[in-house]
Structure 1
């Protein structure tokens, strides 16, 4: 058949088909469209008919468009006939001659079409070639393509024929099923798009199956009919293995068909023929991603889950949404929340949410997390079994009653040692708690500098206590919440006087007392101003037990990675940073350099590197990096301890009567960090089958902590600690500074003699004056400048108290002792001058 005959035949076929569609539209669609049903079932079916009409009209329009294109198109043969006519009349030669100069500028453009174009090629030949060669090449490609399509079109035709046949057969097969079932099942199961793939009445399962049971395999669900009830299983959720649907796995054909149906449901498209090619995709994936609404009784009942699945259970990343507004986004494991997750819980009668961002373990909150409550409170700390447990910080940011609690939690309540800061009253409570109440021994520090130690029972003060006033007076006895003395008590004044008796406070009469005033000691009592609180009441090893327990749990677990993830630590300060941190921990490894070696903060790498850094110098470098890192377990531990220390001793807590508490706390931190380092090292060596090396330098664990760890962690606590030292030694430093001022007023010669600069007694007065202006005076000035340190006493005592024991008796100790002597000598000189001045005024 020639091309003209083929075109005519195609036009005839399309024309007849279009006419047929027109008759169908006139005789069937238009009358049915005018007869809209009134019953509900008819209205639902009418919607499907409207959709069928839309598809019919689209098919008709496509047929008309094809007919128009085929009828009007210009053929390739017509182009070449016209092209040949132009060649016959020498059209290209005449055209190039009349435009010879202009064509010279188009040589570059022609080269893009003709690879064999040269400067010798004539312009007429070039134009001739360009206008026919690309089209001839295109025709050749058509010939090759049509040859290949010839076989494909046969397959496509066969596919379309099979497709139509199968679609019609499935529809009739499904229609017959709906007729055979009762209205109860049909109303609930009949969906227009649903197709029946297999029926156990046509293909029995096995002899062991109850004869009254019936299995229906559809393209989207598997239905088990038992008597007058049925169960429906979404194919995307069906796994056929030894543990599920055992009755199906015993029948090879059913198992094969079900697996294929599951695979097609997951892919979202059907195979035609239904079962695909032999052996193609027979096993659906065990890991899947889709949405499902839970119906059975469980914690997820009526909730929808969208995310990753594994063998029928949520596993991996996913989102759960409950009908009451709760949402959980995070990691799942074997059907439960496990790993990091964010949970939103709506508050009753409020348009606000509690937002939990923490770690989960087998469906419950466990480990570190942040909760932003809808009432403007924020909790940052540890959870266990969905309640606050261990160390944590609760802060109220509302303007109504701002506060901050840093301490121990048990069963969702404040229990144990903790610090409460009432920002409205300007007070800080340091002590023990029971069931959210101050209970036991406690210290209260006020913004004015007054502090007291008292026993509490359910938030109320009981018994006697000790009250330290701003003027350094100390009261021991009973007093009220507004710090009024009542009952028997003893008041020790800073000048050494002691008033002991019974105190009363009558309305309008002020404070009254009956007792004895002892004035025998007229000298200030140094012990009063140096009084220290909380040492016996709060043993240092029991203060922050929750922080240490969390780290111990991590070490005792063998430093498992999932445990380390829940031991996030307190370097996270905002929920946004928490989410970023988790993404960072899961995706990256943070590295640093120790010497020439690369070290990663992944837990297995940490244990591996510990073994290689046991020598003192290498160990110090390693610990320095580890303690500075917010991703290393030891760094997280130090950060938590720093936050606890600041919550106790910064701001309102900067009271000189708490210095010894703070000092012993820092030393104990160093001891615990050293113990935990040794625990990590022991575990690392144990995993490698090695034994820890014995200490050969004779140092105890406490000495090691002071010499190795304390210098590394001291900068973290120095600001608060030094402030306490300054307040504690404020009077001595003031006396010392006054002595320095007095020295600066000395005549030059006397200053030289006082500072023990070479006197040169054999020199004449003129020579001595000359020398004063020279080296000796310069030396004296430098010496005085070195002594002018505003808080020298605080510095000296801090260094002395926290000095490495190995330096005692050595050069550093000697130099510090010399500085102490100078400090005390200047104070004594100032006291002596003050006494002389007092005597002269008396006389």
Structure 2
């Protein structure tokens, strides 16, 4: 309890009809030592570890692949089992009165063909694996599709309805990460040459780059060649997270309810101001203020001047782009939206200044803050937390990481903005 009191015992009963408690009520003494206080039980201490949840579901998938235990089997036999299972299922469907759509039939036929699963992993092969996983996970007749369908069902049963409690957010996120790790083990079993988590796949080089490489021994050391980092999140989140997004985002919204309410109140107040007044209030340098905007009807294509009463017109394309963050599911897609927003802002400023321009954070932050305010994203705190929890670790310190940090700083700034 908030005051430190706690119940210890057994609880039984039905939800909504009262709980029967058999146990003891403890009220910590005011003079308890710090050592005693640190022994207080934390929420989730007795929860089942995410890695230990639903073992039978994964064992069933391994069994369908012909493995007695996870990873103990032959990939060749697993691929044969997949092909036989798909062929048999398709024949049963064709013999049944249910009509199989042409696209579904073509998908099953393509999955029956065993893909190349041995040999060096190039970017082309990596993309082929990614596309194969998308089709396999969309097909319940495939062992991976059946696994995903079952995991989605148990996840929804756990975190929808009574389970929609903000205190379960940590467990819900940990469970998704556990799914990714365990499914990735199956994928690497089927494609043995796929690098492990954090491994690199070299990007293809052009003929021109190869010709320009120095051959002399006195040449400078080569710069690192571009490579794709292999991660379970990049490979599997696009097929897993859209199915789990509604219950997961509900938990984020419940967890961030207070912060989002404070943020939203400030957004509503600041958005009462016209564009130029808001730009001035946020400290945007005047050289970045748009002087004209595309005219609306009845004269599309022409320009109209930005005046003191103009509202919701400056940086409109960037605002519309950022609003799309609420329509995406995966952290990578959300980060892509943020990147496109920055690009829209840069293009508009370059057109205004009529020259190339290199941003400094002191110049960029107020402009981006304006765009975030005008975008009016209701649950921005939830969006930020979801990205932070599930984003690919390899992008945290790159360009996307910096852009995300800027968005996070804007959210914090808006919450603490003094509206006068």
* TM-score normalised by the chain length of structure 1: 0.30
Per the alignment, in what secondary structure is the counterpart of residue 234 of structure 2? helix
Distance 2:391 2:385 in 1: 10
Aligned: 1:826 with 2:414: yes
8 Å CA contact 1:662–1:721 kept in 2: the answer is: yes
Q: Provide, for residues 127-183 of structure 1, a one-character-per-residue CA deviation record: whole Å limited to 9, x for no partner.
A: xxxxxxxxxxxxxxxxxxxxxxxxxxxxxxxxxxxxxxxxxxxxxxxxxxxxxxxxx
Determine which structure has the larger strand proportion and give its number. 1
Structure 1 residues 695 and 566, CA gap change in structure 2 (3 angstroms): closer
After TM superposition, the structure 1 = structure 2 runs for residues 316-715 of structure 1, keeping only pairs within 5 Å, are 476-478=6-8, 481=12, 482-483=18-19, 489=25, 500=27, 533-534=43-44, 537-557=47-67, 558-559=77-78, 591-592=105-106, 600-602=110-112, 605-606=113-114, 608-611=115-118, 614=121, 615-682=125-192, 692=193, 698-699=199-200, 704-715=231-242
Per the alignment, in what secondary structure is the counterpart of residue 140 of structure 2? coil
Q: Indicate which of 390, 393, 399 corresponds to 1:802.
A: 390
8 Å CA contact 1:591–1:601 kept in 2: the answer is: no
8 Å CA contact 2:267–2:376 kept in 1: the answer is: yes
Q: Provide, for residues 355-414 of structure 1, a one-character-per-residue CA deviation record: whole Å limited to 9, x for no partner.
A: xxxxxxxxxxxxxxxxxxxxxxxxxxxxxxxxxxxxxxxxxxxxxxxxxxxxxxxxxxxx
8 Å CA contact 2:65–2:81 kept in 1: the answer is: no
8 Å CA contact 1:757–1:780 kept in 2: the answer is: no
Please, which moves more after superposition, 656-665 or 749-758? 749-758
After TM superposition, the structure 1 = structure 2 runs for residues 57-456 of structure 1, keeping only pairs within 5 Å, are none
Aligned: 1:730 with 2:275: no
Distance 1:776 1:758 in 2: 18
Aligned: 1:753 with 2:280: yes
8 Å CA contact 2:231–2:392 kept in 1: the answer is: no
Structure 1 residues 777 and 541, CA gap change in structure 2 (3 angstroms): closer
Per the alignment, in what secondary structure is the counterpart of residue 417 of structure 2? helix
Residue 583 of structure 1 deviates from its aligned partner by 5.0
Residue 642 of structure 1 deviates from its aligned partner by 0.7
Q: Provide, for residues 429-463 of structure 1, a one-character-per-residue CA deviation record: whole Å limited to 9, x for no partner.
A: xxxxxxxxxxxxxxxxxxxxxxxxxxxxxxxxxxx
Counterpart of 2:368? none
8 Å CA contact 2:136–2:144 kept in 1: the answer is: yes
Distance 1:749 1:693 in 2: 54
Structure 1 residues 484 and 551, CA gap change in structure 2 (3 angstroms): closer
Residue 632 of structure 1 deviates from its aligned partner by 1.7
Distance 2:198 2:19 in 1: 54
8 Å CA contact 2:372–2:410 kept in 1: the answer is: no
Q: Provide, for residues 674-704 of structure 1, a one-character-per-residue CA deviation record: whole Å limited to 9, x for no partner.
A: 211221234xxxxxxxxx476697359x962
Q: Provide, for residues 755-796 of structure 1, a one-character-per-residue CA deviation record: whole Å limited to 9, x for no partner.
A: 333347xxxxxxxxx854388973278526544111000011
Q: Provide, for residues 610-644 of structure 1, a one-character-per-residue CA deviation record: whole Å limited to 9, x for no partner.
A: 45995222221111111111222211111111111
8 Å CA contact 1:613–1:622 kept in 2: the answer is: no
Counterpart of 1:773? 308
Distance 1:738 1:779 in 2: 22
Structure 1 residues 562 and 729, CA gap change in structure 2 (3 angstroms): same
Counterpart of 1:261? none
Structure 1 residues 803 and 695, CA gap change in structure 2 (3 angstroms): closer
Structure 1 residues 795 and 624, CA gap change in structure 2 (3 angstroms): same
Distance 1:634 1:822 in 2: 40
8 Å CA contact 1:739–1:826 kept in 2: the answer is: yes
Structure 1 residues 714 and 636, CA gap change in structure 2 (3 angstroms): same
Aligned: 1:742 with 2:249: no
8 Å CA contact 2:86–2:141 kept in 1: the answer is: no
8 Å CA contact 1:752–1:777 kept in 2: the answer is: no
* TM-score normalised by the chain length of structure 2: 0.57
Distance 2:313 2:129 in 1: 45
Counterpart of 1:718? 245
8 Å CA contact 1:736–1:823 kept in 2: the answer is: yes
Distance 1:697 1:517 in 2: 50
Per the alignment, in what secondary structure is the counterpart of residue 553 of structure 1? helix
Per the alignment, in what secondary structure is the counterpart of residue 740 of structure 1? helix
Please, which moves more after superposition, 794-803 or 475-484? 475-484
Per the alignment, in what secondary structure is the counterpart of residue 779 of structure 1? coil
8 Å CA contact 2:197–2:232 kept in 1: the answer is: no
Residue 727 of structure 1 deviates from its aligned partner by 0.6
Structure 1 residues 547 and 748, CA gap change in structure 2 (3 angstroms): closer
Residue 714 of structure 1 deviates from its aligned partner by 1.0
Structure 1 residues 825 and 643, CA gap change in structure 2 (3 angstroms): same
Determine which structure has the larger helix proportion and give its number. 2
Structure 1 residues 706 and 747, CA gap change in structure 2 (3 angstroms): closer
Structure 1 residues 677 and 772, CA gap change in structure 2 (3 angstroms): same
Residue 566 of structure 1 deviates from its aligned partner by 8.3
8 Å CA contact 2:312–2:374 kept in 1: the answer is: no
* Equivalenced residues, count: 295
8 Å CA contact 1:532–1:659 kept in 2: the answer is: no
Unaligned runs of 5+ in 1: 1-466, 491-499, 502-514, 519-530, 573-578, 683-691, 761-769, 834-843
Distance 1:517 1:734 in 2: 38
Per the alignment, in what secondary structure is the counterpart of residue 477 of structure 1? strand
Structure 1 residues 771 and 793, CA gap change in structure 2 (3 angstroms): same
Per the alignment, in what secondary structure is the counterpart of residue 600 of structure 1? helix
Counterpart of 1:45? none
When the two chains are superposed, the root-mean-square deviation of aligned CA atoms in Å is 4.6
Distance 2:284 2:278 in 1: 9
Distance 2:261 2:376 in 1: 12
Please, which moves more after superposition, 617-626 or 748-757? 748-757
Per the alignment, in what secondary structure is the counterpart of residue 65 of structure 2? helix
Distance 2:142 2:106 in 1: 11
8 Å CA contact 1:628–1:635 kept in 2: the answer is: yes
Distance 2:403 2:110 in 1: 42
Structure number with greater CO (CA < 8 Å, separation at least 6) is 2
Per the alignment, in what secondary structure is the counterpart of residue 59 of structure 2? helix
